[in-house]
Chain A
């Protein structure tokens, strides 16, 4: 996805590839890691691990419910178990198994959902994970990670295994711009500030972080300076960063490749309205499923472009000025 080209961002590998490579690397360091696949290992990239460590890799067939149960049992027996599938088949098909066998007993199971969002393109809406963040954040005790690019996905994969407890990591299919050079600061629950500005804050996750940076560049040319936060952890939300943004910049725009119900925008809006009310405008999918098509054309049609963030930012700044009495 060629967001951020104008501002010099280079296209990097898909986040699913970065995850797969990091998982394989970790598998060599940590013998306790075991992976369960629902026969999509070549899509989720758990295959890299499977080829390197066949004794710790189980393909249970196209059966997400059983995949989760087996992973939970492995965790119950002391393993660090990971289960991966397409985001929506994982969270959708096995929701109750995740609830009952992972979240409720707080077992140390790592879940990875690939093919998130509408940017998977041509395969169409049945394959698009657009509800997964809402479903994953609904579980008590869950940590939900939505990294923006390949380097931060590697860091997120590492952080996930250092964290004791259930985690959902969201990855994507398309190539995405590189946001982070060299060392990636990645602390679960701590947003990364990528750009500062005093007029509003754009809080984004996943693919939309690159779009947010491009939007901030456009806004700057109009004299509007935006702070940009990479909210790679949607749960637990970095509430302090959100409250600081509200207090210091007075207006917020959120951006996510997900339905507006139950996603990042909803979480930010709740925190802001409770702790420091300022205008919050949300960019995401508006109560709709998408369709098959070219990924970029889909993002345009469904309002997930840098330009959509720019427009939301103008509205948010306008709303703040109105509230401040001009």
Chain B
């Protein structure tokens, strides 16, 4: 049971009521959505002057597929609908990616995006489930989301509900022991309505993941050894992302891990040029933003 709901801002409630359900988009439309949401991620973090655009960009294709590719059953008009599929953003610093997706889906007025990280805004630096409809978990202290997702998945079993739970974790985040505690427990209970996606973008705060913690490897074999069904994909290839997310739904008796190979700011010069950590936790300067948006437009064929 949730404790007494915090009141949402009145205008936000009105907006929630006005929006309609989310229909599934074609691959071409999804690519278009990724382009739009990527722009927004960079724009709002630059405007805020802080945040983690590169960690958000690496995950945006997967998040787009989940919310708009017909994978998750969800309804912005009923964010607490008991039978909804859940998305838990365990790597909470990628909050901008979640916020732009929720706004695009209609959970709140997109005008709110420009208030990211401002005092009074429900779009806090890291997700706060008490302040923003559609946010399933308060995250930001790394390593905790997979356990939380597992709790949701077990609740479905107790209630005889068929909903699925998706949890996005970072590659560096898997340094945390709690991730592996949750992994073992999910396998123990044969939880097959739980899909984790590892955003394998190769960099964490102070450098490459393989240098910071070589013991994380081999990633695929490790998750298999923990009893998970594992698939490995290019996390920026929309067809591959959709195919994997659809395929894992057929897995019985096992939790599933999708290892998504991604880049922090793929193809965008300001990020690609930083070989230390791909601008981890740094917004683009207005000048860098111009360069990155131009690169993005070129990648998505927006340059005439």
Contacts and interface: CB of A to CB of B under 8 A. Distances in A.
A91 B158 CA distance: 27
Interface string B149-173: 1111111101100000000000000
Contacts of B144: 65, 69, 96-97, 100-101
Given A100-B139, A101-B138, A74 B152 contact: yes
A60 interface: yes
Nearest to B141: A100
A55 interface: yes
A56 B182 contact: no
A79 B155 contact: yes
Contacts of B154: 34, 58, 70, 73-74
Contacts of B139: 100
Nearest to B185: A60
Given A66-B147, A71-B151, A34 B181 contact: no
Given A61-B185, A69-B150, A105-B129, A32 B141 contact: no
A28 interface: no
B3 A77 contact: no
Contacts of B149: 73
Contacts of A72: 147-148, 151
A107 interface: yes
B158 A70 contact: no
A80 B1 contact: yes
B157 to A, nearest CB: 8
A32 B82 CA distance: 14
A187 interface: no
Interface string A95-106: 011011100111
B136 interface: yes
Nearest to A105: B138
A295 interface: no
Interface string A76-114: 111111000000000000001101110011111000000
Contacts of B148: 69-70, 72-73, 76, 101
Given A77-B151, A96-B141, A101-B138, A108 B2 contact: yes
Contacts of B128: 104-105
B178 A78 contact: no
A197 interface: no
B136 to A, nearest CB: 7
Contact of A66 (B1, B4, B178): B178
Contacts of A101: 137-138, 144, 147-148
B130 A79 contact: no
Contact of B151 (A63, A69, A105): A69
Interface residues of B, number: 38
B79 interface: no
A165 interface: yes
B182 A69 contact: yes
A107 to B, nearest CB: 7
B155 A73 contact: yes
B74 to A, nearest CB: 15
B296 interface: no
A272 interface: no
Contacts of A60: 181, 185, 188
Interface of B: 1-4, 82, 128-130, 136-141, 143-156, 158-159, 177-178, 181-182, 184-185, 188-189
Given A69-B178, A73-B149, A74-B152, 20 more contacts: A58-B185, A60-B181, A61-B184, A61-B185, A63-B178, A65-B143, A65-B147, A68-B147, A69-B145, A71-B151, A73-B155, A74-B151, A76-B2, A76-B129, A97-B178, A100-B141, A105-B137, A107-B2, A108-B2, A164-B1
Please list the 3 inter-chain residue pairs (A to B) with the smallest Cβ-Cβ separation, ordered nearest first: A73-B151, A69-B147, A77-B155
20 contacts: A58-B189, A60-B181, A61-B181, A61-B188, A65-B143, A69-B146, A69-B151, A70-B151, A72-B148, A73-B147, A73-B148, A74-B155, A75-B2, A77-B151, A77-B152, A101-B138, A104-B138, A105-B138, A108-B2, A164-B3
